[in-house]
Amino acid sequence: MKHPIPLHNIEYVLLDMDGTLLDKYFDDYFWEHLLPEKYAEKKNITFGRAKEELLARYKIHEGTLNWTDIDFWSREVDIDIPALKEQMRHLIEVHPHAEEFLQMLRLQGKKIFLVTNAHYKVLDIKLKKTAIGKYFDAAVTSFEMGYAKEEIGFWEKVQERLQFDKEKTLFIDDTEAVLKAAKRFGIKYILYKAYASSKSEKGHSPHFPAIHDFRDLMSPDQN
């Protein structure tokens, strides 16, 4: 990481869930393999055609509230998405050293908030599967706020809800469009979480300093 983050100056830590704290492999596998497979069976078409059709549909709604609304997608494809995700919950994994990082923040007395585009039903599944929920002072979803995280309206609503000081806040996410919105809103410390998926090779951002592993923020010079 090029620019150390002065954790001693930070009072509030806002963290994304999928890809940041949790391995995005679960989501990538679900949307790019499992759902196309089930959709192909349902429509009696090839897997290739099903995947092409679904990826095109995803693209239309990317960055909107529909994007992670599993009830919306259940209607779109006529498949029970929440039930299918529940069946695959064993694939949900926390990134290495993420929980240790949360423990460190708690010991240092930081206010820790989960801010996610994930649907509340998915949030429930993932918090039940992992042990990370206990570390947060609050969890906020885009559906509660009425805006996706890519929109300034989300950040205005979140600050109204959580009352954090932008000058003393660190935000970590694996999506550059979200980080850009947070930066426009005025959050001072922003980090890109590289290697969102354990199967991913994406290890940097052209716009933001990146962390590859939460140990990057746990060394003595970060405190």
Q: Read off the CATH number of the domain in which 129 is found.
A: 3.40.50.1000
Question: For residue 19, what is the enclosing H or E element?
Answer: none
133 closest CA partner among 169, 174, 92, 167: 92
Q: Mean pLDDT across the chain, nearest whole number?
A: 93
Domain end: 35, 60, 90, which one? 90
Whether 2 is covered by a domain: the verdict is no
**pLDDT tens profile 17-33:** 999 999 999 999 999 99
Q: Which two tokens stand for residue 4?
A: 């150390």
My answer on whether 86 and 132 are in the same domain is no
My answer on whether 140 and 160 are in the same domain is yes
My answer on whether 124 and 152 are in the same domain is yes
My answer on whether 47 and 115 are in the same domain is no
Percentage, residues of the chain above pLDDT 90: 86
Domain end: 43, 74, 90, which one? 90
My answer on whether 124 and 181 are in the same domain is yes
My answer on whether 52 and 75 are in the same domain is yes
My answer on whether 40 and 100 are in the same domain is no
Which residues have a Cβ under 8 Å from the Cβ of 41 and sit 6 or more positions away? none
What is the reported pLDDT for 63?
82
**pLDDT tens profile 112-130:** 999 999 999 999 999 999 9
Spatial separation of the C-alpha atoms in residues 212 and 200, rounded to whole Å: 11
Whether 44 is covered by a domain: the verdict is yes
**Count: domains in the chain:** 2
What is the reported pLDDT for 119?
92
pLDDT band at 42 (very low <50, low <70, confident <90, very high): very high
What CA dihedral angle connects 167, 169, 175 and 178, to 10 degrees?
-50
Position 69 pLDDT exceeds 60? yes
My answer on whether 78 and 106 are in the same domain is no
Whether 123 is covered by a domain: the verdict is yes
Spatial separation of the C-alpha atoms in residues 141 and 82, rounded to whole Å: 17
Residue 196, strand partner residues? none
The one-letter amino acid code at 101 reads: F
My answer on whether 155 and 209 are in the same domain is yes
Pairing state between β 138-141 and 111-116: parallel
My answer on whether 50 and 143 are in the same domain is no
Whether 1 is covered by a domain: the verdict is no
Percentage, residues of the chain above pLDDT 70: 95
**pLDDT tens profile 127-186:** 999 989 999 999 999 999 999 999 999 999 999 999 999 999 999 999 999 999 999 999
**Domain span at 142:** 7-23+94-222
For every residue of 69-83, DSSP letters joined together read -HHHHHHHHTS-HHH
What is the reported pLDDT for 3?
53
